[in-house]
Structure 1
Amino acid sequence: MWKSKDVYYVSGNTGILAKDMGKALLCQFPEVSFNEELIPFVRTESQAKKALERILQQSAGRYPIIFSTLFSKNLNKIFDIPEVEFLNICDHFLVRLEEILEAKPIREPGTARALDDTAMTRRVNAIHYSIAHDDGTGTKDYDEADLIIVGVSRSGKTPVSVFLATQMGLKTANYPLVDDNLQTCRLPPEIIRNKHRVVGLSTTPDMLHSFREKRYKGSTYAKIATCATELKQSDQIFLKYQIPVVFSDGRSIEETATQVAQELQLKMAADSGK
């Protein structure tokens, strides 16, 4: 068994797809250490040969792994040599789709991430909106939101909101449940009238205590008892207003954000069916 392997992600564009897919596969082999390098924007035969030359110089005799998302057959042939372990991520599926659809693929790099003007404008607007409506600011504009995340302080609302704006183009506001909300078990009218686009975010007392302790060590705010009480009160609010809840503990920001978006879609689908 190899204890370590050199890995190269080769792409005709940014290489994000090659790296993401490669990492998703490599993480299944935790006993092997991987030395990774991204080689983006390989679009000509000259660039491909130069990249291969560098790979062979750095990893000669170690049979490095190359993950490729290059669409050009000619460029892929340059890398597909006995001295490397070449994995063409896209070509197998592209050929199969060509058979299924009875159509020829354009085989141009970057088309998967190309955004038209409308989509780009929407994403930029979503980012601006989310920044301007972070942590309970600008509640008067909540009618414009695609999504409103509600939860106690330090439950992960801001990073999830930013991800939803930057990656999904959703205008996301987030509102912290303050003492007045928790004690009265009530939400502001701006949130109540937009209840169909509200998702609650929660976590465990231990996780909440950990996050708060890092910022306000030894404070009443960070005590495990305070965290447990606030989370219990937030649960009562979510139940009262029939707000779907996503738990952020043990999940990455990406996973949490995806589940929040899914809950929003399910909620809106259910409301439209009434």
Structure 2
Amino acid sequence: MWKSKDVYYISGNTGILAKDMGKALLCQFPEISFNEELIPFIRSESQARRALDKILQQSNGRYPLVFSTLLSIKLNQIFDTPEVEFLNIIDHFLVTLEDLLEAKAIREPGTSRHLDDNTMTRRVNAIHYSIAHDDGTGTKDYDEADLIIVGVSRSGKTPVSVFIATQMGLKAANYPLVQDDLTSARLPSEIVRNKKRVVGLSTSPQMLHAFREKRYPGSTYANLETCEQELQQSDQIFLKYQIPVVFSNGRSIEETATQVAQELDLKRQPGF
């Protein structure tokens, strides 16, 4: 396991989205120290190559993580090199949209965003709320949430929450069912009083085992029997509190997020 890792957020604009999404994911690894740097406004191949040279020089062969929201295929290809761990945040969703809409994206930075001030404020507030209320943090503020996702550890709560915040402009909190919750079949009062805004997230024992095994191989936490037991206990909690359940196994993040929103009859905020 890495004790520390260099992380770079690259973007054709300010890089706020790349940084916020990257941080939301990296906070799940508190035992690792991350050295983070934002490199914004990459608009040309020469700028991309200079940025890559800087990244490789500073990281000195330690395979840095590079989170990208660059829209240009050519620019992303420059960074998609064996010397770095490259994570293209935008492209997966953009390619999917091209297929669905039967049209080609223009892939030009900055065109969004002729967003009005209210829309931009909603997006920033939703992202910040999602990050600040990830993994059971800040339960006292759950009254402000548009939705609260509840599920066992590693069931996919964080990426779904981040997607809902960034792509729908909704304040999404998520809460992990810890052992005390599972054995007592009880939810915290902050969740119970907001039950109408709660969705349970579940998966198959095999999928949960696979995710946990990658993180903690050979542990009791990752054991298939443990996964089966925790999912059964979470099902009992969802049934007890009459909480709707969405299954993430076999679905993409966007599919899961959409179903979560549909369960609560939530709509995208204007401008999204």
Residues 213 and 219, structure 1, Cα contact 8 Å, conserved in 2: yes
Aligned to 1:134: 134
Higher relative contact order (CA 8 A, sep 6+): 2
Matched, 1:265 2:237: no
The structure that is helix-richer by fraction is: 1
The aligned runs of 1:216-231 (5 Å cut-off) are 216-231=216-231
Task: Give the 3 Å change call, closer, same or farther, for CA 190–224 of structure 1 in structure 2.
Answer: same
The aligned runs of 1:151-162 (5 Å cut-off) are 151-162=151-162
Matched, 1:166 2:182: no
Mapped partners of 1:24, 1:216: distance in 2:
37
RMSD value over aligned CA atoms? Answer: 3.0
Aligned to 2:66: none
Task: Give the 3 Å change call, closer, same or farther, for CA 264–114 of structure 1 in structure 2.
Answer: farther
Aligned to 2:178: 178
For 1:137, what is the secondary structure of its paired residue?
A: coil
For residue 199 of structure 2, what is the amino acid of its counterpart?
A: V
Aligned to 1:189: 189
For residue 176 of structure 2, what is the amino acid of its counterpart?
A: P
Mapped partners of 1:16, 1:213: distance in 2:
25
For 1:213, what is the secondary structure of its paired residue?
A: helix
Post-superposition shift, 1:41? 4.5
For residue 232 of structure 2, what is the amino acid of its counterpart?
A: K
Task: Give the 3 Å change call, closer, same or farther, for CA 21–140 of structure 1 in structure 2.
Answer: closer
Post-superposition shift, 1:264? 1.2
Aligned to 1:247: 247
Mapped partners of 1:136, 1:21: distance in 2:
32
Residues 15 and 40, structure 1, Cα contact 8 Å, conserved in 2: no
| Alignment coverage as a number of residue pairs | 178
Task: Give the 3 Å change call, closer, same or farther, for CA 181–120 of structure 1 in structure 2.
Answer: same
Gaps of 5+ in 1: 1-7, 27-36, 43-108, 267-274
For 2:175, what is the secondary structure of its paired residue?
A: strand
For 1:160, what is the secondary structure of its paired residue?
A: helix
For residue 173 of structure 1, what is the amino acid of its counterpart?
A: A
Deviations 1:90-132 (A, max 9, x none): xxxxxxxxxxxxxxxxxxx957x64221111011001001101
Deviations 1:211-231 (A, max 9, x none): 000000000000000000000
For 1:135, what is the secondary structure of its paired residue?
A: coil
Post-superposition shift, 1:22? 3.6
Q: 2:99 aligns with which of 4, 9, 23?
A: 23
Gaps of 5+ in 2: 1-71, 74-89, 267-272
Residues 98 and 105, structure 2, Cα contact 8 Å, conserved in 1: no
TM-score (norm 1): 0.59
For residue 155 of structure 1, what is the amino acid of its counterpart?
A: S
For residue 217 of structure 2, what is the amino acid of its counterpart?
A: K
